Structure 1
Amino acid sequence: MKLVIAEKPSVGNSIARMIGADRQRGDGFTSGNGYIVSWCFGHLVALSSPEEYDKRYAKPWKLSNLPIIPEEFRWTVAESTAPQFEKLKALMERPDVDEIICATDAGREGECVFRYVYFQAGCTKPFKRLWISSMTDEAIRDGFEHLRPGSDYDALYRSGLARNKADWIVGMNATQLFTVKYRSLLSVGRVQTPTLAMLVEREKKIQQFASARYFTLELNCGKFRAESGKIEPLQAEQSAAKCGKTAVVKSVVKEQKNANPPKLYDLTTLQRDANKLYGYTAQQTLDCAQKLYESKLITYPRTDSCYITDDMEQTAADMVRRTAAAFKFGADYDAQGCTPDIKRLINNEKVSDHHALLPTKEISRYDFTRLPEDCWNVLSLIAIRLLLAVSPVNTCDSVTAVLECGGMDFTARGKTVVQGGWKQLEATIKAGLKGLSQDADEDDAEEASGVLPPLVEGAEIPVKSVKPLEHKTTPPKRYTEDMLLSAMERAGSDSYDDDDDVEKKGLGTPATRAAIIETLVKRQYVERKGKQLIPTDKGIRVIDVVPEKVKSAAMTAEWESTLQKIAKGEADDQQFLSDIIAFTKQLIRENAGETSRNENPFRFSRLTVIGKCPNCGKNVYEFPKSYSCEDSRGACGFYFPREIWGKEVSETQAKRILDKGSSITLKGFLDRSGNACAGKLVLKDGRVRVELEK
């Protein structure tokens, strides 16, 4: 008997049906035709926590216990998944099972899902690997006909194991280090902290930004307009007055510009577009893509490639025809009057574990009304991208003219579309899509420009009017998930944006970036406001206190690059872990000192903020006996008691005092004679006083 282990029940059932192993159903497995098919529920086995090695590592944490570096890592089966693990272990131990087939997701994490169970169960039976890029019947059948030796993926497993150990070593030690140092639970991670640092850096630039006015002059030349460069506000009117009734054409530059079609989607570019066009989070898009994959509608979603291999040329051509028909884009696509350029999709060197995202043949017979709206939208994006990727180049004639008027240069630009190509198809398709966010076509709006009349050097052009245009410099934009995913992919660098020939060293992988963002939100380091991701006060304080090496995107990207090399057999996993351990030990040596109360920015982290200090603008917190500014023991000194003249000041009234300058009329004050009286608490001259009713 052959035991097939899938990553989840739905995948296991699809495989069982294809290989005839669905004839008998047991407890946690199905069987038939010489196969037993069972499954995990994602990760059944995980690295043990520090306290499982030694009770002294349990809370309360102590700096003296750091660093925690296990000589041999241990593994734990979660209580919630233990029953399924025991079933798999029993199946592995069955005497009639002589071979195991790993059928978990074809990627680094999928490899670890299986291997951890295999080793934790103490299994030594030989295993083979099912490696497929879609869940279609044809792909499963072909995969079982071409099973690979499990040892072919040992390097991939070593990469995944090294990543998990590195995350454990850095995360466990850094979290305990900074939690004890600042007496507040601070989650620090190998990838999450550099990601948070990028958000905080952008937020600080926005907060520190000071908008400045500037002017340009606009020439109205009748059929077109030309604009000057920046002018200081005081010079705008004077410069406009110098301009006469004619302008002279100094130069005319004509250039034909070609815009190549977009590449096919990898997971990250799909997530970016889904966020930009529909406002979906990266996790929502990944969840949709996973459902579409398990429904056999798309190929493997967690891919980092935007290309296919040359042996897929005919398959891709067939999918273009099927996609155009299934998504009712046929008329629009045929209107281009061209043959799809499939060869543009092919680049063997740029495909590693999996090729780019593609629809599958299943789209020709699937009832799309069964799909939830978000899954339908994600599937549509993948289908549209395939059609665009094989469409003609967009070609425009661009004209840039420089005119002189009043001793100043003015620039006019025009553009004439020679061949609409893929952009014309995209505009037609977008017009028929529902639910697009309002800013979905911002890029198109920015590209738009009019047509210039024929202009020749030396010609005099009548000027109808000249007017100053006022502008203001704008701060950097807050990150959306689209923008953050791009920054994570490039580790915050612009040096190799969309350059296929440069190795990209990013933060995390396409498969893990969504989870990193969700972790930051869950831990309240980041909050979502519409599409924007904004660091919270807590998130900003975390980045303020951790050292540069912990929040360095460049170093974390180098680590990720090394993990990729380990997966290819080009780097040593043990050397990588030695470097991680050395980094962690140095981090602890340099930051092990405790922080005094007044220097601790987290000393108020468990207190309630009730408003802003009227004296210095900092937060005012609710304490057991007072409402006090966070600088109440420093230069500011603002506070007021929770009980004034025998009257308890509620949180509601304290907030009102700070917000409006006084409480409502309150009863229950006691004067010096002990008599009850009514009055208001009023904020005057930086102090809270009682004003009795007359």
Structure 2
Amino acid sequence: MKLYIAEKPSLGRAIAAALPKPHKNHKTHIELANGDVVSWCIGHILAQANPEDYDIQLKKWQMNTLPIIPEQWQLKPIYRTRSQLTALRALVKKADEVIHAGDPDREGQLLVDEVIDYLKVSKTKKEKIKRLLISDLNLPAVKRALKALKHNSEFMPLSISALARSRADWLYGINLTRAYTIQGQKSGFNSVLSVGRVQTPVLGLVVRREQEIANFISKPFYQVLAHLQTHQNEGFSAKWQPSEHCQPYCDNEGRVLNKALAENVIARISDQPAIVEDINTEKKQQSAPLPFNLSSLQISAAKQFSMNAKLVLDVCQSLYEKHKLITYPRSDCRYLPKEQFKQAPAIVKMLSQSNLPAQPLSVKQQAENADISLKSKTWNDKKVTAHHAIIPTEKSANNLTLNPFEKNIYGLIVRQYLVQFYPAYQFQQTNVTVNIAKGLFTCRVNIETEQGWKQLFPANKKEPHEASNNQALPALNKGQALHCKEGVLIEKNTSPPASFTDASLLSAMTGIARYVKDASIKKVLRETDGLGTDATRAGIIDLLFKRDFLKRQGKAIIATETGIALINALPEHATLPDMTAQWEATLTAISEKETSYQHFMTPLTQTVTQMVNSAEQQDFSCLPKVAFKPKRGKKKFQKHTVKKAS
């Protein structure tokens, strides 16, 4: 008997639908006509054991018992899903062959692998386990996946990476939450100070941003525009570029802070001859953006529809599991396997019959104008991991009832897929340098020559810049004489950094290298290395809101009094993304066979030990004095439970 173990019932039913009928449906599994069985987990059915499961004395939070570092890691069944684990135990014993059908990511890989290990599957049987990778729950896609089984051993690095992440979160969260909570209580803060390997640096990003805003002092700065004319009285503007001699009067972004200097430039150039020192015209093009992974979809939805990350993920799960309109959504990849290109004509044809509206072109128009002979750079087997980019399936949405959120997210995914079949956006860029009274003035003008994929997107409504690339430029030649009619002073003020929003906080977590201070750590990070994974970032942000560390002010995400106090009380390195970003990069390296589990866990354990030992030296007096609140109508104190922090 073959036993298929899916990650969840919906996936199990989709697999069974592609296998021999008739079926016998049971609460815990489906029997197939040929005697094989499809069963499932219900998400995680095992969890890391609690400290008291290792030693009952550890139930009490005491500094002298920290750090808690298990010698032999243990898992325990989750109470609400114990019956499913019992059913799997019986089925695994009967099975001649097991097929792993967890979701196609590192968490899905570990989720089924740890069940197989917990049930003590024999080494012989384990060596024969196959891996079924399904990213589209529609019948044709499932049938294709069943014909492309791989050896589960190929995915062990992915599983080890997830295991390391799980244990790291336990070690860091359990030990530091206990250590800092105990110290906080000594200062009168009688509540739990939740600390996590990922959540705390994310909170640190928000707190530091708000501190920057609070401490920001706006300063005026000055620009000079030269209004130029040709002998034919054709005009255009160019912006002054301060020379090296002017740098003492500029800030670190090259903005002139001295008004007298700018006014002196205006006096020198007004009603003066000018000459075109250089002119360069180039043909340029911009390829279509890649299809979405989860983070880029969440960022786009936050910008366009003000949807938070958790809502986007929930909507994606509905589009994937309930409606079967999109492929697996918890993806960190923006590329597609070359094999998938064979499905493109069917998908585009289905979309060309869509009745869903969109701006500026309906989905039907987007698909009808697509050229499926074009093949963008997204089809690249070398850049596809265990999962691929999020794209529409071959199933039509015409007869489905979608809520507004589902329509919006599906529309984004469809458009991002269809632009792969549009030509590049093309434009002609002209850069002009003009010399006036020995000062250099420049302007850049872009002229669109082919709209290409940009015809699917609403026009950019940004304000044009002074001497911008939107102005009309007369015909010019190098060495041409011009006349500077006048210089114009433009006074502006430096602006504070903007508060984080859903979009910008997700963007910061995704490309964390921008916020890392340590140059040596920054060097090893890639542009895509981040805090958390695509699948966990929404949950981390949501957790910070639930724990009252973050709150919303309109679209802005700001820290609460407790969140600010916690970051100020913790050691700086616990609140910075540097260490965590490096750990995330190492976890990725484990999944790509570039480093080992031990290489990650040993330094992490040492760091946790050092941080626990130094906890007593931290000053928690800045925390608000909070007592346990009794439940309404009861005199007993409300108990606080601590989830495993991440």
> Shorter-chain TM-score: what band?
0.7 to 0.9
1-structure distance, mates of 2:339, 2:64: 59
Cα distance, 1:242 vs. partner? 4.9
Q: Is the counterpart of residue 541 in structure 1 residue 572 in structure 2?
A: no
CA distance in 2, matches of 1:266, 1:468: 45
Query: Aligned pair 1:169/2:171, yes or no?
Result: yes
State the shift of 1:488 in Å.
1.8
Residue identity matched to 1:51: E
Identity, % of aligned positions: 32
Specify the alignment match of 2:505 in structure 1. Answer: 484
User: Counterpart in 1 of 2:641?
Assistant: none
Which residue is 1:225 aligned to? 237
Cα displacement (A) at 1:139 = 2.1
Partner Cα separation in structure 2 for residue 209 and residue 600 of structure 1? 26
Question: Are 1:21 and 1:37, in contact at CA under 8 Å, matched by a contact in 2?
Answer: no
Q: Is the 8 A contact 2:131 2:149 kept in 1?
A: yes
Selected match of 1:526 from 537, 550, 558: 550
In the TM superposition, 1:194-273 aligns within 5 A as 194-221=201-228, 223-228=235-240, 230=256, 232-234=258-260, 239-256=265-282, 257-273=284-300
Counterpart of 2:636? none
- Give 1:673's aligned residue: none
Higher relative contact order (CA 8 A, sep 6+): 2
For 2:157, give the aligned amino acid: A
Closer, same or farther: CA 401–211 of 1 in aligned 2, 3 Å: same
Instruction: Say yes or no: does 1:315 pair with 2:343.
Output: yes
Cα offset, 1:161, TM superposition: 1.3
C-alpha distance in 2, partners of 1:263/1:138? 25
Q: Over aligned residue pairs, what C-alpha RMSD do you find? A: 3.2
Amino acid aligned to 2:288: P
Q: Deviations over 1:551-584 (max 9, x none)?
A: 3423222222222232233322134222222221
Which residue pairs with 1:653 in the alignment?
A: none
Matched residue type, 1:186: L
Q: How is 1:31-430 mapped onto 2 (pairs within 5 angstroms)? A: 31-33=31-33, 34-59=35-60, 61-93=61-93, 95=94, 97-124=95-122, 126=126, 127-183=129-185, 184=189, 185-221=192-228, 223-228=235-240, 230=256, 232-234=258-260, 239-256=265-282, 257-294=284-321, 295-316=323-344, 318-326=346-354, 328-329=362-363, 331=365, 340-363=373-396, 366-367=397-398, 369-404=400-435, 408-423=439-454, 425-427=455-457, 430=458
Kindly report which structure 2 residues correspond to 1:518-667, keeping only aligned pairs within 5 A, or say none: 518-593=542-617, 595=619, 600-606=621-627
Contact 2:130 2:151 in 1 (8 A): yes
Name the amino acid aligned to 2:476: L
Does the CA-based 8 Å contact 1:216-1:231 persist in structure 2? no
Asked if structure 1 preserves the Cα contact closer than 8 Å seen for 2:276 and 2:435, the reply is: yes
Equivalent pair of 2:272/2:437 in contact (CA under 8 Å): no
Per-residue deviation at 1:289? Answer: 1.9
Give the partner amino acid of 1:196. L
Q: In the comparison of the two structures, how many residue pairs are matched?
A: 585
1:145: Cα distance to partner? Answer: 2.9
Alpha-carbon separation, structure 2, partners of 1:218 and 1:156: 56
Please give the per-residue CA displacement for 1:59-88, whole angstroms capped at 9, x wherever unaligned: 4x1110101011112222233333333333
CA positional deviation for 1:402: 3.7
Structure 1: any 5+ residue segments left out of the alignment? 432-439, 609-694
Cα distance in 2 between the residues matched to 1:269 and 1:74: 36
Q: Secondary structure at the match of 2:207?
A: helix
Q: Which amino acid aligns with 1:420?
A: Q
Q: Tell me, what secondary structure is at the counterpart of 2:392?
A: coil
The Cα of 1:46 is off from its aligned counterpart by 0.5
CA contact (8 A) 2:225 2:238 kept: yes
Distance 1:442 1:85 in 2: 56
Deviation, structure 1 residue 525: 1.5
Q: Secondary structure at the match of 2:573?
A: coil
| Pair 1:151–1:214, CA change in 2 (3 A) | closer
- How many angstroms apart in 2 are the aligned matches of 1:343 and 1:403? 39
Instruction: Give 1:176 deviation, angstroms.
Output: 0.8
Q: List gaps (5 residues or longer) in structure 2.
A: 229-233, 242-255, 357-361, 630-646
Q: Which has the larger radius of gyration?
A: 1
Distance 1:339 1:367 in 2: 22
Conserved? CA contact 1:271–1:282, under 8 Å: yes
**Which amino acid in the other structure matches residue 48 of structure 1?**
A
Aligned partners of 1:567, 1:407: CA distance in 2, in Å? 58
Change (3 A) 1:42 1:335: closer
Please say if residues 397 and 417 of structure 1, whose CA atoms lie closer than 8 Å, have aligned partners that are also in contact: yes
Does the residue aligned with 2:507 lie in a helix, a strand or coil?
Answer: helix
Q: Is this contact kept in 1: 2:513–2:526, CA < 8 A?
A: no
